[in-house]
Structure 1
């Protein structure tokens, strides 16, 4: 079959949620298209297998950026390339953002996206191991859990945070106050719960749902101002699928604007330079990009604690693998970071503007593949970032060739707000490691190192030694204005029968990791689509 009612492009969190909801009606034919392959790699199920997955081109895209920062480095923005999308290769940290984020989204002229609209969605999709409450859901498809305890080293982190005035909590999503606790993660019984596990695999036996893997979408097919299908390649052979009702792009903040621009929907000057005929001059497709710039701090421990000695040698890795196989626990059954915290950089703020994550291991510089490598000597890793940056970058096609690389301009720390907030976050994190029982565990800071002191040195260290957050948003942002790419119902302006449903539609950054919010966004978007059916 090549004709469907709905054609969904991208099997990440939003796409899998949409496929689940839209195919619930047996009279509706749904196609879900994924450029990657089936999610059968055993490392996907193993939580800390993500370190290998991120460097593997068969499970992850690697999009190079323009050179930036004082060193002029190029970094690669990694995205999932398999069923489940980035939720199959990410660090599994689950948070929902702050209530005020969603209310701000609605206040920008996007009705239906406020916290009163979104909290019920989160409660519906969640199966939280902590049990049901006014803020938590149980019985939903997305399994999340929180460690009850951890390494004594991590308990010292929590104690140090408490000394700084941050409330220790079992449920980091229960409140938006300053807080610290063991990470809530999309893990259950030692296994990752990706979007494919949660939303897609339980319904793949529906006869009206077709999943096409190894299928790269090059363009949306337009006819008389309407999206009528997609064209692309499956295993190298040209394919085309027809959509009787809608084409829905859920390819992410890089993939969705790319497909729009290749289809002639985007800024006229960008399309002209790439040699693409303009179908709709939509100036903000690919613009308004926001991304978290992540500071990295590493510390040498005074004692043989944490995971380095275990995970840095083949023998230790085998031991950890045996423990995981026997119990589902140990270092390989944990999320990317064991402890997560949120805090305000100034006491006059009404809510946290910073996030940090800590793990009881430290890393060597990445090798060319991007795979994570562990240091042999005991260490700790801490990352931190400002939650709501206002610096804006862009993504744009560089050619009409769908295989040509995207032109990605991160534009980190372009505003005074972002620079000053980032510097304060860095200084607070240093104070954390110099506080209470945690301070006794630390021998010295290894990265970026004590020589980094001034504001300028801190910003440069963040640019040279930090990373992207893998949380890009905004490149197809929703809003009420004529030049907003999509409206509040996520319909693309200027083209009938076409929507975008993924992180690219967010005009402001959600305060934290995006896997949970994008899953809820996809579920909520299904309500909007079904209302119009």
Structure 2
């Protein structure tokens, strides 16, 4: 039977970081297993390829269970199925959240995870083309750049947001988070900088690193109270030092439960032999729910219509020859962070301006080009679950339980109201003809009905293998699974609370810090900057 020192399960954002960092020790063998394929399709590397990613290409095609507070809808729930994971199919937005997010983790008992302690791991990853200071580094492997494909409507949006009352912020990841501005993007030289491209490709020449794609892991093998390897469709593989799950906030708890590690009663109901009763596995699912206002533009001020062959072909040729034009756009390049709840200590609403994001296609009332302003409540109180189906090998039962807490609904609707007010500002009048949805003059009831029908995930699941020191925690602050030796989880599932931002950058930081914990290295020196 083949044996490696470390087996990393899941080649997503955290998994690629782990494989690269662990294999820096030449006398340690590392195996990375990814169920999805290589990222050979050119769309993975073109920034605008994001528009094709949330369905089909690079996705498992999963859905939620019916959502009780959204009229029983099943929402499409994109989870990446490709090397690089979410970093290979997302909108490339690089935001870290608020300092208070991480300080709250530490205050809850997660020693070593405060903002000052995590910031050095953000900086270690980052190769920022513009910023190099106490908050940023220009030398890391991950390309981080300013948008190249922003259209004039983006500047008009920023003026409108400022007129509405949101100040301009040149760096959401710096001194402060609040305000409107351009997002930094995980791109380098107008190409997507995924975790696979940034971390894994430079490391794959190492003799001690093996990367296998298209390999699904069936279960973690446990002998006594120790994880000793994994079982795949091709047979078992042993791990001399340990197994690290990095399959994401859905995949990691799903695999733990299929391995007999999780809530004992649930496992027995599904016919899975209980290896270790760990009730917190699959609990605490959190996600950001997205609402948007949709407007019709006065002209070709968005990237709508890129699905037409002739237009797409011209744009593709321009990109290949000059690295300019529509293909360089991530489609969500401006936005902001602001406050919905009175007295909120930090921003609790995030905005994304969609330059022809695709959500407006198929709307009969929209006769021309469309633009969206998306809003998401960042600190949901609702908690959901990941559970096994009656057939444990079938796709997992994903229940974000959106709006179970009425506070989340109230704040989400307030965010939508704010978005509508911004889109109605005079600065956008040369670009925006009218609000199409929810529709100018819509009643409170009609806005609510629209929200129930149109809400969608922001693709930010977290928390299902929660880190902590209490009995309900799944992993300790060193990311070790409680009660099982030689087994860790290192991805967004360990986050006690979802960060107040997009989650790719925080997941990369978890991978960076997790690699040092596994290697037994001293933590990087804490930052000495004031919190944002």
Q: TM-score range by the shorter chain?
A: over 0.9
The CA deviation string for residues 178-212 of structure 1, in whole angstroms up to 9 with x for no partner, is 21112211012210000001110001010010111
Among 502, 516, 522, the residue aligned to 1:527: 516
Among 281, 289, 293, the residue aligned to 2:285: 289
1:127-206 mapped onto 2 (5 Å cutoff): 127-147=127-147, 150-206=150-206
CA distance in 2, matches of 1:207, 1:9: 19
The CA deviation string for residues 479-520 of structure 1, in whole angstroms up to 9 with x for no partner, is 111221111111101111100000001111101111111001
Q: CA RMSD in A?
A: 2.1
Among 268, 277, 300, the residue aligned to 2:273: 277
Matched-pair contact (CA < 8 Å) for 2:261–2:277 = yes
The CA deviation string for residues 85-129 of structure 1, in whole angstroms up to 9 with x for no partner, is 111111111101111100011001000100111111111110001
Larger mean Cα displacement after TM superposition, 114-123 or 310-319: 310-319
Establish whether residue 338 from structure 1 lines up as the match of residue 333 from structure 2. yes
Among 378, 384, 388, the residue aligned to 2:375: 384
Runs (4+) off by over 3 Å: 364-367, 450-453, 456-460
In the other structure, the counterpart of 2:123 is 123
In the other structure, the counterpart of 1:473 is 462
Per-residue deviation, 1:350: 2.5
State the SS of the aligned residue for 1:118. helix
Among 423, 432, 435, the residue aligned to 1:433: 423
State the SS of the aligned residue for 2:284. coil
In the other structure, the counterpart of 1:257 is 253
Among 434, 438, 454, the residue aligned to 1:448: 438
Per-residue deviation, 1:378: 1.7
The CA deviation string for residues 357-376 of structure 1, in whole angstroms up to 9 with x for no partner, is 00232535679xxxx9xx87
In the other structure, the counterpart of 2:358 is 363
State the SS of the aligned residue for 1:290. coil
In the other structure, the counterpart of 1:248 is 244
Matched-pair contact (CA < 8 Å) for 1:502–1:518 = yes
State the SS of the aligned residue for 2:145. strand
Per-residue deviation, 1:307: 2.3
Report the TM-score, using the length of structure 1 for normalisation: 0.93
Establish whether residue 12 from structure 1 lines up as the match of residue 8 from structure 2. no
Matched-pair contact (CA < 8 Å) for 1:148–1:182 = no
In the other structure, the counterpart of 2:529 is none
Distance 1:206 1:70, change over 3 A: closer
Distance 1:30 1:70, change over 3 A: closer
CA distance in 1, matches of 2:53, 2:136: 30
The CA deviation string for residues 271-313 of structure 1, in whole angstroms up to 9 with x for no partner, is 01110011111111101101111002210113342222x5252
Matched-pair contact (CA < 8 Å) for 1:362–1:378 = no
Among 302, 306, 310, the residue aligned to 1:306: 302
Q: Which structure 1 residue ranges, 5 or more long, are not aligned?
A: none
Report the TM-score, using the length of structure 2 for normalisation: 0.94
State the SS of the aligned residue for 2:335. strand
Establish whether residue 316 from structure 1 lines up as the match of residue 307 from structure 2. no
Per-residue deviation, 1:70: 4.7
1:19-168 mapped onto 2 (5 Å cutoff): 19-57=19-57, 59-68=58-67, 69-147=69-147, 150-168=150-168
CA distance in 2, matches of 1:380, 1:104: 36
State the SS of the aligned residue for 2:61. strand
CA distance in 1, matches of 2:142, 2:432: 37
Distance 1:434 1:517, change over 3 A: same
Larger mean Cα displacement after TM superposition, 184-193 or 166-175: 166-175
The CA deviation string for residues 219-239 of structure 1, in whole angstroms up to 9 with x for no partner, is 000001110000022xxxx32
Matched-pair contact (CA < 8 Å) for 1:172–1:183 = yes
Matched-pair contact (CA < 8 Å) for 2:222–2:229 = yes
Establish whether residue 228 from structure 1 lines up as the match of residue 228 from structure 2. yes
Matched-pair contact (CA < 8 Å) for 1:92–1:336 = no
Distance 1:527 1:376, change over 3 A: farther
Per-residue deviation, 1:162: 1.2
State the SS of the aligned residue for 2:60. strand
Alignment length (residue pairs) = 520
Establish whether residue 239 from structure 1 lines up as the match of residue 230 from structure 2. no
Q: Which structure 2 residue ranges, 5 or more long, are not aligned?
A: 523-532
CA distance in 1, matches of 2:357, 2:37: 31
CA distance in 2, matches of 1:45, 1:317: 16
